[in-house]
Amino acid sequence: MNIGFIGLGIMGAPMCGQLIDAGHRLFVHTRRQVPAALAERGATACANAREVAQHADIVITMLPDTPDVQKVLFGEHGVAQGLTAGKVVVDMSSISPIETKAFAQQINALGCDYLDAPVSGGEVGAKAGTLTIMVGGPEAAFARVLPLFERMGKNITHVGANGDGQTCKVANQIIVALNIAAVSEALVFASKAGADPAKVRQALMGGFASSRILEVHGERMIKRTFDPGFRIGLHQKDLGLALQGARALGVALPGTANAAQLMQICAAHGLQDQDHSALVQAIEIMADHALAAQ
């Protein structure tokens, strides 16, 4: 297929690479220069999002936040200006479920389908092609794009209508944030009590407390490897969407609110561009105790 890909950051670039490796022709656009590794493998750089949409049958966006998606889709030289009937727009960003429904209606009015397909799995999953992909939108459009999803991910679920994919991603981010906070508290507690946090983590990995967060992010906390796979600032955005939705629905999310405040502590200390596992530093600040690098 002729595929458009807009947004070639930490996640987008390896996801785009998976599609090139599958033999698809990629037309790409990003705010910065197209990564050399993608250009060398045949990706065609376009001047703007409209040009991407003109060339592609399916246009994928992977962008930081709701306003970014809105601008790329409907701003000057945006995707909408380059679409013709029958094309599919797939937003794989993590954005507002409410705004997603409005974006879908605008794209549908042009005779095109829209899928919201946010992902989980971070940079590691993007590079390995093992992302979890949560999809909202029409069944026929999902079936058409499924071969592309299967190149980028392993756990692919058609959740429901437009907006449901984004709702699922918000739920995912709630669970991830609360688990990171729990692992952070446990390791700081163990360390300040005099135990070796690395050995505590190793012991917990064999019990009921075992989790992917304890495995991957617990190791990051101990080794102090906070180069971003997923930035605190982006997770803050996602928790903001959760709390915004909770207010609209009349739902209390006390744990989510607490995790959001822990991330705000990190941001206040200039850590917003570190990996979200760096949330442990908020607990360390309050405990006046840092895990020693192992």
CA–CA dist 183, 118 (Å, integer): 25
CB of 121 closer than 8 Å to CB of 131? yes
Based on the number of CB atoms within 10 Å of its own CB, is 141 exposed (0-12), middle (13-18) or buried (19 or more)? buried
- Of 87, 127, 169, 237, the catalytic one is 169
State the CB neighbour count (10 A cutoff) for residue 227.
Answer: 11
CA atoms within 13 A on the CB side of 147: 10
Angle at 9 between CA 7 and CA 15, to 5 degrees: 75
Is residue 169 part of the annotated active site? The answer reads: yes
264/40 Cα distance (integer angstroms): 40
Contacts of 239 (CB under 8 A, 6+ apart): 173, 174, 177, 256, 259, 260, 263
Residue 236, token pair as written in the block: 């803050």
Are 17 and 39 within 8 A, CB to CB?
A: no
Pairing of strands 113-116, 88-91: parallel
Three-state SS at 284: helix
Q: Is 188 helix (H, G, I), strand (E, B) or coil?
A: helix
Report d(CA 116, CA 16) in Å as an integer.
Answer: 17
Catalytically annotated residues: 169
